[in-house]
Structure 1
């Protein structure tokens, strides 16, 4: 955050929520990767033994540990500036499985010949349960909405392109960074909203009240099994790369403030030979991966976890700090119509975030104790 728009306390407050969100994203990625890896085995089993086969392939914990082990090795990659290619690779994987999900949803709706579901959604036993379920759904939406983390990737790509242009020594000057950021932000919002809406709406239209939480891992679709396998593999590859991108800011902060003159040791890395790494870097990053993996194993409730994370970080990162920066930069007079309207909007978003937080917390801890 710009120090001209916020004091030191606000700066630290924003940093806390941003790093918390990055850490929570690591937990969600660990959960999702395990679900996708298990889905690949189950898809092959259903294809081989029939759709009614038990196809028990064990719990998700084993796959979470595999994902964590892979990240513990990959996270020794130094430097945030080296993540540009990895980010592009992860984005390509994301586009592929998104297209697969949308395509299968369209095919299912056409095959059914009717749009499933109802405006009231899934019926619940009591009104209280319905309210909690709605609040969890709102939390899931809030997790999908904020693009504060995406800006890290945009900044990375923008910086990479600027360096490339400087190396070529072109006569045409690089566009101003704020214009590049605005263009990339608009494009990312439109594309992301399009795929989220398509997957959500087509999924419910295809399966109605029986819609799985994840179209590609909930086995709403069984065939073609090879396409589902490939889409889930792309999810895993996307999450491997995405985990790397989203954790680098945390590690960069830790390296700058705590690494100091830490000793270095030689560590054997598969396929790369021996590499010298900082002892602090090795211990901190390994502990970080262990923490995200442990939490994912402890709370293996995908929808509830992302709902809680989204609800908790939505208001401070996506509403409060951007609003305060806007008011400060544009010198909006206190208690003017614009000031009151903007703060009213912020208050409404805070109430929505609180509502979603409570419901998602009930979902997470209620599932844990049941």
Structure 2
């Protein structure tokens, strides 16, 4: 898991830094949100299609991963509230050819389907998707990716306060905190600007 995390975060960081750094160097503030189609060119079509397929694969996995706590919370609350309800509690064993046996719960299927439909409609309705996504990313980046892991590592490794390693880790944490603040301010600015010409289900962000 440690190796997978290091490889995954390293590759993601390199790609994000390349897109951000080279994009800003080439286009400055005029860089589009989507580098492949933001300039009005949709050729070569195969490149755009491959990029869209990669985005779909990435989001399907990420969406399911981040939605699991929400699914589990609602399902546990409903089971505790209505423990006698067969619709909520009962599992139906189903055989899927060439795959195997699966337990299907009707409440789980319906609730998760409704949740996905609801969140999809909200995402389509969102006026400034990229800016909101940037704001959410900025808000979660420092505390979840930097601050808590660094503090846990300092505590677990028993790193002495005010040592060289301690100063290095704290400096990294503060630099990332400043980056988070700057990214949050930029995202809020983008939201305010884009709200001026927003039309539900028509605006492209």
TM bucket normalised to smaller: 0.5 to 0.7
The corresponding residue for 1:313 is 140
The corresponding residue for 2:170 is 343
1:260-298, Cα deviation, whole Å (9 max, x unpaired): 4353279xxxxx8xx95242x346434533553344234
Aligned-partner Cα distance in 2 for 1:362–1:202: 22
Q: CA deviation at 1:351?
A: 3.2
The corresponding residue for 1:163 is none
Q: Is the contact between residue 264 and residue 276 of structure 1 (CA under 8 Å) also seen in structure 2? A: no
The answer to whether the aligner puts 1:329 opposite 2:156 as a matched pair is yes
SS of 1:215 mapped into structure 2:
coil
1:171-210, Cα deviation, whole Å (9 max, x unpaired): xxxxxxxxxx2221232233333433555566567x6355
Match for residue 191 of structure 1 among 11, 16, 25? 11
Q: Is the contact between residue 217 and residue 232 of structure 1 (CA under 8 Å) also seen in structure 2? A: no
The corresponding residue for 1:297 is 124
Equivalenced residue count is: 181
1:283-326, Cα deviation, whole Å (9 max, x unpaired): 64345335533442343323312210111001110112112211
Aligned-partner Cα distance in 1 for 2:167–2:14: 32
Relative distance call for 1:320 and 1:196 in structure 2 (3 A) is: closer
1:237-268, Cα deviation, whole Å (9 max, x unpaired): 543344234323432344345534353279xx
Q: Which runs of 5+ in 1 are unaligned?
A: 1-180, 267-271
Relative distance call for 1:342 and 1:276 in structure 2 (3 A) is: closer
Alignment TM-score, normalising by the size of structure 1: 0.40
Alignment TM-score, normalising by the size of structure 2: 0.65
The corresponding residue for 1:259 is 79
Aligned-partner Cα distance in 2 for 1:234–1:345: 31
The corresponding residue for 1:277 is 105
Q: Which runs of 5+ in 2 are unaligned?
A: 91-95, 97-102, 198-205
Which structure ranks higher in relative contact order (CA pairs < 8 Å, sequence separation ≥ 6)? 1
The answer to whether the aligner puts 1:362 opposite 2:189 as a matched pair is yes
